[in-house]
Amino acid sequence: MKLLLSLLLTSLYLFATDAFVNSEYLQKNLHNKNLVLLDTTDLKTFKKGHIPTARQADISLFRHWVDKTYLLMNSSKKIQETARNLGINNDSQVIIYGHNKNKELLKSSYIALALIANGFHNVSLLEGGYGDWSYEFEDEKSAFSTAMPKYKKGNFTAKFNPNILVDKEYVQARINKVPMIEARPKVYFTGEKKSKGVKRLGHIKGASSSYWRDKFNLDDTLKSDKDINAIFLGKNKLNPKKEVIAYCTGGLEASMNWYILTQHLGYKDVKIYDASMKQWGNLDDTPMEK
């Protein structure tokens, strides 16, 4: 078993990508003509200060409400329109960051998911977000801006990948057949507390807990691959070559587990149940346990 785990870890390290880039990398490439820098914070905060050339990208541009209960990713046509309006071309390099405020890191991973699910793959998240950037370049006035950026409309052409997003019926048919990981805090997984907007307590039957925050340090930088794999390979017993289904409260938290697994560690077949517990936990007939 130890030998198998060692071999799996080695293979994953070989697949590690630039899914996460640091502030030094961004600073060196900030004025690359193909770079599109997206800021996930609210417009008010954005206007107070952001990284130069950044474009404010509201998460609401990528999702829509269903029955006023849960959110789903927008259609491929709308994602294409949004990406073009943000100046994204087919040959762009996209880097996404937040201001270290509530859920902005998760908004970054969801926007990355939306782009990747629609055929765009040259995307990275800024490790540590705006907080790390501010710390690294606090004495450089040119490292900050309050100006609204000007840019041309992009030409990105979306091509939807049907093998990433799954629905309730897909999940239900794979209970106890496919590993499922939940990204919510464990108190919601165990049913000790109730998630906001979710009627029932507990989790999808057979799922394991894998809180998204456990993969990050307090400063929003990613933990070591050794620590992350100890969670996914050791605790959650996932196989990098086999199917995994990720879910959470309403899609955002699961998007980070999905992003780390697929873009950073090279897992081959990770699905995401976008509606998650906002749908599953508000139905009376879906299999759940505590």
The pair of structure tokens assigned to 267 is 């897992």
Domain membership of residue 8 (yes or no) is: no
**pLDDT tens digits for 60-87?**
999 999 999 999 999 999 999 999 999 9
**pLDDT tens digits for 125-164?**
999 999 999 999 999 999 999 999 999 999 999 999 999 9
Asked if 73 and 135 sit in the same domain, the reply is: yes
Residues 79 and 23: their CA atoms lie apart, in Å, by 27
Q: Give percent of the chain above pLDDT 70.
A: 94
Mean pLDDT of the chain: 94
**pLDDT tens digits for 14-33?**
333 599 999 999 999 999 99
Residues 6+ apart with CB under 8 A from 262: 116, 270
Asked if 195 and 116 sit in the same domain, the reply is: no
Asked if 20 and 138 sit in the same domain, the reply is: yes
pLDDT the model gives residue 34: 96
Domain membership of residue 176 (yes or no) is: yes
Domain membership of residue 156 (yes or no) is: no
Q: Sign of dihedral through CA atoms 185, 259, 262, 201?
A: positive
Asked if 139 and 27 sit in the same domain, the reply is: yes
The pair of structure tokens assigned to 14 is 């070989």
Q: How many helices (H) and strands (E) does the chain have?
A: 11, 14
Residues 154 and 36: their CA atoms lie apart, in Å, by 10
Residues 132 and 143: their CA atoms lie apart, in Å, by 12
Which residues form the domain of 234?
A: 165-289
Is the per-residue pLDDT at 178 higher than 90? yes
Asked if 172 and 120 sit in the same domain, the reply is: no
Domain membership of residue 136 (yes or no) is: yes
The pair of structure tokens assigned to 179 is 């590993």
Asked if 136 and 180 sit in the same domain, the reply is: no
For 184, which DSSP code? Answer: S
Residue 75: how many other CB atoms lie within 10 Å: 13
The pair of structure tokens assigned to 126 is 């800024």
Domain membership of residue 1 (yes or no) is: no
Q: Sign of dihedral through CA atoms 123, 127, 129, 130?
A: negative
Asked if 175 and 138 sit in the same domain, the reply is: no
Asked if 50 and 83 sit in the same domain, the reply is: yes
End-to-end CA distance of the chain: 29
Asked if 96 and 174 sit in the same domain, the reply is: no
